[in-house]
Every structure is written in structure tokens, then in C-alpha cells.
Amino acid sequence: MGNSIALIEIAREDLDASNLLYINGLYPQSIFYLQQSVEKIIKQIGLTNEIIEAKDLQKEIGHKTEKIFKRLVQRTSPITGDTQESIDKDYQTIIDINKSTPLAELIPAVINTLDSYRNQEFPYELEDLISQVFSFIKENNQQITADIDLEKLTNSRIQSFKEVWPKYHSSIMVLFILNSLLSDYVSKVRYPIGEEFERPSCIYVKDNELVKAVPYFQDCIDESIKAILKFQISQRLL
């Protein structure tokens, strides 16, 4: 629990740093801390949901936080039918699109996608979804759940769950999209670019499409941090 709390606090500090750097025109540094904030939140989600352990954070995961999403999908593969091959292929498709699409086209598409997740209503009947999840848990953890009245537990907590789950779900999708977009910028904005060793500050200027989108992305991350904390506290994960 201590590691999870520390990570969410650092994610907030990184977001605050990104805001301050942007205000002062230090755009490459602002993008770097924006990416770092996303990275810390995803790691916090991984720890809180026991997808990863603290020892995995540096060597196993490092900056490649997409591994946490892949592990999450692997866990649900008995329900979704996804295979490791299909997971890797789908993620690589996203990366290829990000790399091959000009920023002037990519950023508006990303913003439209983020808007759709931020404003969406959860598309399923939550009672049915929760019942399916608990059935899956019971089937795969019979010894643990033998003495638990899952139906009573579901009924007692379903209302609070319904209040926090949709925003939590959309926040995770927002973070996945931002992580896919920003993961390369952990190094791009800190080192000379190309054979001419061009300074990042000469490329990531005020009129750069990514730079113009930073305040919007900051709002997305701020909203996600609040929603994730609210969900984790209400479900006693913190």
C-alpha cells in the first residue's frame, strides 16, 4: 500500500512540474514530466491490482509500462479469448500508427478518442458484468471464496461500485492512449535529435502540435488521478 500511495503522489508532483514548465515555456521538459506522470500512475495501478510487484518496477517494467496493460489483458484472456500473439499484434499496430502518422493528423485523432472515453457512459449493465466477474473469481479461486457469500457481497457493494467504476474504467483507457502516444518522448525530448544534434527546444516550440495539446493532456491526467484515487479508496484498495 505504501508503494502505491508514494507512486500516485509522485505522479501528481510530476504533473505539477509539467504545468509549471509549460507555463515558463520549457516545453520539452514539460512533455517529459507529462510522460513521467502517466508512467507513475500506470505503475501504481499495476501495484494496487497486484499485476506487478514492487521489485518489477525498474528492471522488468522500466519505462515500458505497456507491459502492465499486456499483463492485465492476459489475466482476462479466459473471458476475452485474447492470446499473447493477438495482444502483441494489436499493441504494435497502435505504435506503428503513432509513428507513421504526422502529428498534425495524429493529435486531433487522439484528442477525439480521449474525448469519447472521458464523456462515455459505461456500455454494459454493471450488475451483469459484476456477476460475471465474481463467477470467474469463484471458479478460479474456489478455496479462497468457499466461505464468502458472493451474492450478498455483490448486493452490498454494487451501488458504490457503480458510482466509481465508469470513471475509473474510462481513466484507464485514457492513460493507455496517452502512454501509447508519449512513451517515445521519455528520450526524444531530452537528447539532441538527428545527425545534426538539434536541440529539442528548437523542435518542441509553441506551435508544435504536441506542445499545443499539452494543457489538454494535463487536464486528462489530472482527471484520471482523481478518478483512480476515488475508486481505489471506495473499494478499499488503499
Q: How many domains does the chain have?
A: 1
pLDDT band, residue 195 (cuts 50/70/90): confident
Q: Is residue 30 part of a domain?
A: yes
pLDDT in tens, 164-185: 888 988 999 899 999 999 998 9
pLDDT band, residue 125 (cuts 50/70/90): low
Q: Is residue 87 part of a domain?
A: no
Facing residues of 193 across strands?
Answer: 198
pLDDT band, residue 111 (cuts 50/70/90): very high
pLDDT in tens, 49-71: 888 787 877 777 777 788 888 87
Could you tell me which of 73, 54, 51 has the C-alpha nearest to residue 7? 54
Residue 154 has pLDDT above 60, yes or no: no
pLDDT at 164: 84
Q: Is residue 75 part of a domain?
A: no
Q: Are 16 and 221 in contact (CB under 8 A)?
A: no
Q: What is the mean pLDDT of residues 17-44?
A: 96
What grid cell was written down for 29?
521538459
Q: Is residue 178 part of a domain?
A: yes
pTM given for the model: 0.82
Q: Is residue 78 part of a domain?
A: no
Could you tell me which of 44, 20, 43 has the C-alpha nearest to residue 32? 20
Residue of higher predicted confidence among 73 and 33: 33
Q: Is residue 32 part of a domain?
A: yes
Q: Give the Cα separation of 78 and 136 in Å (integer).
A: 9
Structural domain containing residue 36:
2-69+102-234
CA distances from 135 to 86, 141, 150, 206, 211 (A): 25, 10, 9, 52, 46
Which residue in this structure is represented by grid cell 495482444?
A: 87
What grid cell was written down for 208?
508544435
Q: Is residue 153 part of a domain?
A: yes
Q: Give the Cα separation of 69 and 114 in Å (integer).
A: 17
Q: Is residue 22 part of a domain?
A: yes
Burial class (CB in 10 A: 0-12, 13-18, 19+), 105: exposed
First to last CA, the chain: 6
